[in-house]
Structures are given as C-alpha cells and as structure tokens.
Structure 1
Amino acid sequence: MKLYQVLEETATALPDQEITCLADDTRKVQPGCLFFCIRGNRFDGHDAAAEMLEQGAAAVVAERDLGLGDRQILVPDTRIAYGRACAAWFDHPERKMKMIGVTGTNGKTTMTNVIKYILTNNGHKVGLVGTIQNEIGDEIVHTDNTTPMAFDLMQLFDRMYRAGCDTVVMEVSSFGLVQRRIGPTHFQTAVFTNLTQDHLDYHKNMEDYYQAKRMLFEVCDLAICNIDDAYGQRLYKEITCEKCSYGCHENADFYADVIKIRPTETSFWFCSQGKSHQVTMKMTGMFNVSNVTAAMGVCLKCGVPMERIIASVSRYNGVKGRCEVIPTGRDFSVICDYAHTPDAIENILSNVRGYTEGRLICLFGCGGNRDSAKRPLMAKAAAKYADHLVITSDNPRDEKPEAIIADILAGLTDSKVSYDVVVDRIEAIYHALRIARAGDVIVLAGKGHEDYQILAGNKHIHLDEREVVAKGLTLLDAAHETTEKRD
C-alpha cells in the first residue's frame, strides 16, 4: 500500500512509496514498515524511533521533532494517527457496516449478546466484539482484550465485512476509548449501561473514568442511556446527539414494569411510546431486566418489529458466566457469575437473595495488580446479602494471594457475617460444595466465562469452574460412599 493512501489527509513532504506494514510495537517492525511512536505507561516509542529506522522502517510518525529529518512525520497525536492509518489500511471496513457500541462498567457482555441474538434471528449477519470472544456470524474468534488493539480491530472488521456481516455489535471499554483503539469508527447507536468503581488502577479517579466512557458518545448518532444510574442521568443531560433513555421508571423512553423474577425465568412488561408488551425470558435478575430492556430498545431502533423481538428474547438462553446456573443434580444450587466489582457483587447477590430458600453462600476473591481500593468494598457488598462468605483468590498475578485477601478482610471489620478463607480457588470451591445444605445457593463470583487463572509472571493455568464443580461433586460422592462403608 502506498504511503499517501495510508496517511490519507495527514500532511508529509516524504515522497510516496510502498509501505509494507504498520506497527506501534518495536517487535513488529519490518523493512518498509511505517512505525508509529506511541507513548505508553512504561515505554515511549519515540525513544526507539531512530533504531526502528536503522532496522528498515520507511518512516516514523511522531508527536515531536526527533531530529530525523525527512524520515519523520509529525502529528498532534500518534494514537489517533495510528487508528486512522489502520482503518485506511483495510479500506475503512468500519464505514461499511452498521456499528452498535455498548459501554459501561457492568452489563456490556450480556447486552451485546442479546442484541446480536435478536438481530441474527431477524435476518442480519452480525459481528460481535466482546469480553468472552469475538464472533463473525457463527464463527468464534479468540480475543485477548475487550476492545482489540487498533490494527487487530480493523482487521477483524475487515473479516466481518468480507464474511457478509451488515452489523457489528461491540463492547467498547474505557481502555479502548482512551487509547484510541477504535480508530475513526463512528457508531450509529451507542449504549451507556452504568458506572461503578473499577479500573481505578488505570484511571485517576471516577471522574476520569466517566470522561473516558463519555468519549463514545462524541462519535455516535444515537445515544441510549440508563437513567436508573446516576452517571447515566448525567450523561443523558450532557450529550447533544439524538438520545433515548431506558430503565425501570416510567419517565424513561424504554422501561420495564410489573417485573416478576423467579429462579429460572423472569417476566416483565416492556413499555414504550404509551404501549406495553409482555416479555418472558429464561434469564433472571433485575440487572438482566435492565440489559434486555436496553437491547430491545436498540433493536427497535434498528427496525426489528416488536413481536419478533419478544419472540427472540423468549428463546435466548443467556450468556456463559453471567448468572449461569451450573447443573449439580443436588438439593442446592451453584451459580457462576463474572461479578468482580462491588456493584456487580451487590447486583447478583441481591437478586439471588430473592429466591434463595436456604443460605446464600458467596465465594469470591480480587485480582492482583488491579485497583486495591475496591477489595474491602467487595467484601462489604458481599456481606450485605450473603449468609456466609468463602474468601479466596481470583487472578493474583504478581501479588501474594494472602496480601490480597488481607485487603478484602479489612472490609469485614464491622460485619457479623461468617466466613472461611481458603486461598486456593479450586479447594475453596470444593469447600463451598462440602458445606452446602438443602436449599442453599452458592454464587461463584469473579471468574464467569474465564477458563483460566493468572498467576505470577503472567502464567495462565487452566481453571474452568464448571469442571471444578463437577469434580468436586464427584469427590463429595466418593467421600460419602467411604463414610457409608465405614458405618
């Protein structure tokens, strides 16, 4: 591809030439490459610019004069320039499909999956960009980030377009927005779910976190905001594009009413423009009522008839690791959920509390090398609804699990809730199964869809909680048989 095609409107005095690849990573530079100097938290690409030219890069794109003469191209922001170049490299696939973005702390995965399911069931071929996996129609594509890096994202969009996708539904993270990973992508519809404490190890404070999320609504035609959330109310007032609101209150454009939550299903009335429609879904919990209400509003705006939306919602089985019931065949239940913030813990437990006949047992930990301030808050949130806690590890990374757990326990100083500490997560799950009684519900919080655990040195080990529960039940049966033989 020619340099001027890559740069489009970016001014340069360099002669037009063939560019072999784009890179913002020094490890990916090849002869003829256009290297973008990105400033990160630990490394500044500007410091390696001269070396990249020595390795054969055709030119470098920088934010300041590096004294490299006619082999440097100066721009105000290299992240923005890189995103635009990546889009141009693939002939702007983001312009060729309808783009729907969802941002917020909680609910993004469920909402994007519901939207994709409804649209797919109504004649659209949909690409999905999300936390659990990326999807091109029915094809599953592995992902390492909620919002992929700029080049990877545009390459994924290109694959989606070439495969016949007419719509893309994507989770848009605060990291992805601040780091300009979405490039010049413009969204026809953008949804704001909520904002609660998370990622404050990266963002300076909640205001910085909010402003990061708000960036999505500067590049969309229609905003749909959750006005049950204080930040959603604020965003709704501040944005200037076309907007709709959703929630569980009558003053919203789309709202849920007469909500009935049961252990295996939920029913409610979806209300909009003076009309009400009864909805029954297999998912449970108030948070899922909110997620589905927004998803239905999005699909209505996409032109899907209401009766077809309701039929699709009634058939949907839910998202892996989001209030997922793990079969046990016992007189107690096990639920797996991705809840890893204080608000998410409170949401899942408050909803499960409503239909728990026995004790509500919550097993959770907190991630290492992440926002430590939320650890005691997680404990307080769990203690508010659970009868018993099993405190364990999540993804400890480079921190000592015992130190993380000590931070968690600080939140239980004034609590009377009973708890056990079992550092090893697998053993902790076995313990929770051993102490469960008839009517109890065990909530395994934090891992959700993940089938791994991250240890020191970024070492990933296999850990699928569905498999752990199955093995734990087998061990429990074996122990019972041994006891009976002894008796």
Structure 2
Amino acid sequence: MRLYALLEEYAKTNLPDMEITGLTDDSRKVKPGMLFACIRGEHFDGHNAAGKALESGAAAVLADHDLGLGDRQILTDDTRKLYGQLCAAWFGHPERKMHFVGVTGTNGKTTITNLIKHILTEAGHRVGLIGTIQNEIGDKIVHTDNTTPFVYDLMGLYAQMAEAGCDYVVMEVSSFGLVQERIGVTHFDTAVFTNLTQDHLDYHGTMENYYQAKKLLFQRCDNAVIDTDDAYGRRLYEEISCPKCSYGSSSHADYYADAIKLRADGTRFWLCNAGKSYQVNLHLTGMFNVSNAIAAVAACASLGMPMKRILAGLETCTGVRGRCEVIPTGRDFTVICDYAHTPDAIENILRSVKEYTRGRLICLFGCGGNRDATKRPKMAAAATKYADFLMITSDNPRDEEPQAIIADILTGLEGSDVPYEVVVDRKEAILRSMQLAQPEDVIVLAGKGHEDYQVLAGGVHIHMDEREIVRDCLPLVPKR
C-alpha cells in the first residue's frame, strides 16, 4: 500500500509517497519497507527501539516526540491511536463493512456474546464472534490468545469476517483492550455493560481506574444496554449521554424477569418490557444466566430485531463451554465446570447451584499467580456463603509458589466453620472431591472453565482439561 493512501487524514509527513510493505509495533518483526509504531508499554517503551527498527529496514517510525531521526519519523500525540487507525486502513477498513455489538464488564461477557450471536444467527445473519474462549467466523472456529486481540490482529480478523460475508460482529471488549486502544477505530451499534467487581487490579491499580477503562466503550457506541442492579452500572447509566436502556431484577429496569423458576436443566421466567410480558424457557440455569439472557434480549432489541424473533433464537441456545457446564459422570453426584475466578463470580455460581442442590455443595477452587493477590481471601470468604465443603487447590500458579497462593486464600476462611481440605495438585484435588461426593451432592470446579491448560512458572502451559480429568477419575471413584 502507498504511504499517503495508508495515512489518509490521520497523519502528515514529509516523506515521499512510497510503497509500505507492512505494519508492526514489535521491533523483532520489522522487515524492510515497514512502518514501526513506537508504543509505550507497561514494561517496555518502543521509542527505545526506533533506531533498531530503522537499521532493520523500516521505512519510518511512528513516535510521540522528536527522536532526532529527521524525516524518518512520523510524529503524533498518541502512537497507540494512530497505529490502530493505520491498521484499519491497511486492511481496507473492514470495520466499516459490518455492524458491531460490544460487551464489557467483569462477569457474564462470554455467555452474553454467545447468546447474542446465536440469536442473530437464528435470525439469518452471518455473525463473527470475538471472545475469551475462541473467535468464530460463522461456524468456523479461530484460536485466540486474548479476550480482545491486539489491534493489527483484530483488524485482520475483521477482514476475514467481512470477506466471509459476516454482517454482524459480537465481541467481548476487555478493559485491557480499551485502555491499550486494541479496538482501533471500531464503532459499536450497541454496547453492553454487565457489572464491575474486583478483578485486574494488578494492572489498573484501583477500582476507579478499572471503571474508567470500561467506560471508554460507551464513548463509541450508538446505544447502551446497562445492568442497573450493579452500583457501577447505575453510575454509568447516569454519566453517559447516548441512547440507553437498563436491565435488572426489578421493575425499575426497562427489561427485567418475573416469576423465575430454576431447574437443574434450565430456567423458566417471564421477560417484561414496556408493559408487555413474554414467557421464556431458557436451556441455561442460574439467576446469573437469567440476567445474561435479559442483556442479550435487550441488546438485540436495540438493533431493531422484533421480540418474537429474539425469543425464538434465545430458547434454542443450549449453553456455553465452561460456563455452568455439567460434565457427564453417570454417577449419583453432579460435576459442574465454571470459569468463576473472582469473588463475585464464585458467589454467583454457588448461589445459583445451591438452589437446586439436594445434597452437599462442594466447591473446588484456587487463585491465579502473578495476579491481584487481594482477591484471594475474598474468593474464600465468598465460597463459604453457599458451599458445604471447600477443596482448596491450585489454579494457574505462574511464577508464584502454589502453597503461598493457598496460604493467602486460607486467611479468608478465618472464623468460618465450613470444612475444607487442601490438595495442591489440581488433578488430585478433583479426584479427592469425587471420592468424597455422596448421593445428590454437586461439585463445582471453579476457575478453569473453558481453559484446557494450566500455566506454570516461566509461562509454561501444560495440558489440563477438567472434562478429561473427571472422566479419568471415574474408575477410581467407587460406585455406591
């Protein structure tokens, strides 16, 4: 692509118009003819690699201050923002060819995006999905490493979706993605806010910073759908000026549920909006999934879809991998796998499961290493509210000692009379939980969800799929 066509109206330069061979913000990937974006990261400033990039053949560098490189530099106030704009131009602005729905918040994003995608697909649309578990182009699965991909990869993914005929893209939008300008110039037809509870404070530092990061999404949307059961949601609703609607558990919200009947295999309720009520038979269980379903309905309604078509799609959705997922055992106890990895999420899943548990509720969980340590005792305290027995184990320890993480967790059990065991090895902990299970007990394996790996020191990933572990443990669990 020619330089001037790439820059469009985003930036000016005295460089001659030349052929640009590519874009990168990684100095290790620079090839002759590329533009290199100097990005200020948490641990490394790309401006320090500008000279190396030019030596490697870069045509020019994008910088936010004069590096003394003469006309080999293109200056801008914000290199992240400009880089995102150029990535969109490089791929022919695929974001202009599709409609976008973004979902942000601490909990619920994956389920809501999958519900919205399913509803749109059932209505005849071809839909792309970008999220924590995987990316999807229609029914084609594309691997993902981040909830919100880095901007060059994201625009490339958009281009594939547009080429495949997608007219909608539904995506989870992370706080990292918003602060780091990963979504580039993407504008959303509808943005959904689910809730805000403690998470990622190792990165954001404070809940206020975390909230402000999430709020950025609502500066680039035409419509907002907000959970006003959540305190931050109520604040957001008051602070934004775009067209908006609320959802929640009371009639004060624009969309809410009434006469909720939970079952182990689903939920029945009445969806209420604008003075009308619609009966819903949802193939997902738990109060949190009622909330997720209402959010999906409100989002699709904001896109102009008729309620009849929305509900028809909603009722054929059967769930999401790793989100309150029942793992078959053929035994007289139940094993559920869920991604809950925050205090609020673990409380939500246990409260919901408790409502239909006839025996004991056993909760197995750990906490990630190299992440916000303050939530570890809070996870334990949250689990004691509904669990009858706790199995404390490891999650993704990363560069921390698992025993040290568990020691932090155990401080949250002080003063509690809920019995517990500590089994550091997660596979052994799952086996032990299954051996302890009695008829009609429910075991909730919390924290891994869709993940089929464990992260050890040095970023080493080992295979760990809890569905496989449960299957392999069954011969070691006596039948009763």
Equivalences for residues 226-241 of structure 1 within 5 A: 226-241=227-242
Deviation, structure 1 residue 415: 1.0
Deviation, structure 1 residue 42: 1.1
Deviation, structure 1 residue 111: 0.1
Residue in 2 that maps onto 1:7: 7
| C-alpha contact 2:227 2:248 (8 A) present in aligned 1 | yes
Deviation, structure 1 residue 304: 2.6
Among all aligned residue pairs of Structure 1 and Structure 2, give the percentage whose two residues are the same amino acid. Answer: 68
**Between Structure 1 and Structure 2, how many residues are aligned?**
479
Alpha-carbon distance between aligned partners in 2 of 1:447 and 1:142, rounded to the nearest angstrom: 17
Alpha-carbon distance between aligned partners in 2 of 1:449 and 1:359, rounded to the nearest angstrom: 25
Equivalences for residues 107-146 of structure 1 within 5 A: 107-146=108-147
Residue in 2 that maps onto 1:189: 190
Alpha-carbon distance between aligned partners in 2 of 1:255 and 1:95, rounded to the nearest angstrom: 33
Alpha-carbon distance between aligned partners in 2 of 1:182 and 1:40, rounded to the nearest angstrom: 16
Q: Secondary structure at the match of 1:408?
A: helix
Deviation, structure 1 residue 240: 0.6
Equivalences for residues 43-192 of structure 1 within 5 A: 43-192=44-193
Alpha-carbon distance between aligned partners in 2 of 1:305 and 1:180, rounded to the nearest angstrom: 34
Q: Decide which moves more: 112-121 or 301-310.
A: 301-310
| C-alpha contact 2:27 2:52 (8 A) present in aligned 1 | no
Structure 2 counterpart of 1:422, which letter? V
Residue in 1 that maps onto 2:391: 390
Q: Once the two structures are superposed, what CA deviation does each residue of 1:319-347 show, in whole Å capped at 9, x if it has no partner?
A: 00000011111111110000000000000
Structure 2 counterpart of 1:291, which letter? N
Deviation, structure 1 residue 302: 2.2
Structure 2 counterpart of 1:97, which letter? M
Q: Once the two structures are superposed, what CA deviation does each residue of 1:152-203 show, in whole Å capped at 9, x if it has no partner?
A: 0000000000000000000000000000000011001000000000000000
Structure 2 counterpart of 1:5, which letter? A
Alpha-carbon distance between aligned partners in 2 of 1:112 and 1:45, rounded to the nearest angstrom: 34
Structure 2 counterpart of 1:208, which letter? N
Deviation, structure 1 residue 301: 2.2
Residue in 1 that maps onto 2:24: 23
Q: What TM-score, normalized by structure 2, do the two folds share?
A: 0.99
Q: Secondary structure at the match of 2:331?
A: coil
Q: Secondary structure at the match of 1:289?
A: helix
Q: Once the two structures are superposed, what CA deviation does each residue of 1:450-482 show, in whole Å capped at 9, x if it has no partner?
A: 0111111111111110000011112224xx69x
Deviation, structure 1 residue 91: 1.1
Residue in 1 that maps onto 2:303: 302
Residue in 1 that maps onto 2:407: 406
Q: Secondary structure at the match of 2:133?
A: coil
Residue in 1 that maps onto 2:430: 429
Deviation, structure 1 residue 15: 1.2
Alpha-carbon distance between aligned partners in 2 of 1:122 and 1:306, rounded to the nearest angstrom: 11
Q: Once the two structures are superposed, what CA deviation does each residue of 1:65-115 show, in whole Å capped at 9, x if it has no partner?
A: 110011011100110011001001011111110000000000000000000
Alpha-carbon distance between aligned partners in 2 of 1:412 and 1:6, rounded to the nearest angstrom: 57
Residue in 2 that maps onto 1:42: 43
Q: Which runs of 4+ in 1 moved over 4 A?
A: none
Alpha-carbon distance between aligned partners in 2 of 1:158 and 1:440, rounded to the nearest angstrom: 48
| C-alpha contact 2:333 2:437 (8 A) present in aligned 1 | yes
Deviation, structure 1 residue 303: 2.9
Residue in 1 that maps onto 2:209: 208
Deviation, structure 1 residue 314: 1.7
Deviation, structure 1 residue 148: 0.2
| C-alpha contact 2:189 2:303 (8 A) present in aligned 1 | no
Residue in 1 that maps onto 2:292: 291
| C-alpha contact 2:194 2:227 (8 A) present in aligned 1 | yes
Deviation, structure 1 residue 251: 1.3
Structure 2 counterpart of 1:46, which letter? H
Q: Decide which moves more: 182-191 or 253-262.
A: 253-262
Alpha-carbon distance between aligned partners in 2 of 1:259 and 1:315, rounded to the nearest angstrom: 18
Residue in 1 that maps onto 2:267: 266
**Unpaired runs of at least 5, structure 1:** 482-487
Residue in 1 that maps onto 2:357: 356
| C-alpha contact 2:223 2:302 (8 A) present in aligned 1 | no
Deviation, structure 1 residue 306: 1.9
Alpha-carbon distance between aligned partners in 2 of 1:55 and 1:63, rounded to the nearest angstrom: 21
Q: What TM-score, normalized by structure 1, do the two folds share?
A: 0.97
Structure 2 counterpart of 1:111, which letter? I
Residue in 1 that maps onto 2:200: 199
Alpha-carbon distance between aligned partners in 2 of 1:334 and 1:476, rounded to the nearest angstrom: 13
Deviation, structure 1 residue 404: 0.4
Alpha-carbon distance between aligned partners in 2 of 1:313 and 1:178, rounded to the nearest angstrom: 32
Alpha-carbon distance between aligned partners in 1 of 2:13 and 2:238, rounded to the nearest angstrom: 41
Q: Secondary structure at the match of 2:203?
A: coil
Q: Once the two structures are superposed, what CA deviation does each residue of 1:35-87 show, in whole Å capped at 9, x if it has no partner?
A: 00001111110001011101100000001111001101110011001100100
Structure 2 counterpart of 1:369, which letter? N
Structure 2 counterpart of 1:157, which letter? Y
Structure 1 counterpart of 2:3, which letter? L
Cα RMSD, aligned residues only: 0.9
Residue in 1 that maps onto 2:382: 381
**Unpaired runs of at least 5, structure 2:** none
Q: Decide which moves more: 8-17 or 144-153.
A: 8-17
Q: Decide which moves more: 209-218 or 412-421.
A: 412-421
Alpha-carbon distance between aligned partners in 2 of 1:226 and 1:476, rounded to the nearest angstrom: 43
Residue in 2 that maps onto 1:365: 366
Deviation, structure 1 residue 248: 1.2
Alpha-carbon distance between aligned partners in 2 of 1:337 and 1:210, rounded to the nearest angstrom: 25
Alpha-carbon distance between aligned partners in 1 of 2:53 and 2:342, rounded to the nearest angstrom: 41
Structure 1 counterpart of 2:149, which letter? P
Alpha-carbon distance between aligned partners in 2 of 1:422 and 1:30, rounded to the nearest angstrom: 50
Residue in 2 that maps onto 1:439: 440
Q: Once the two structures are superposed, what CA deviation does each residue of 1:4-53 show, in whole Å capped at 9, x if it has no partner?
A: 12222212111111110100001110000100000111111000101110
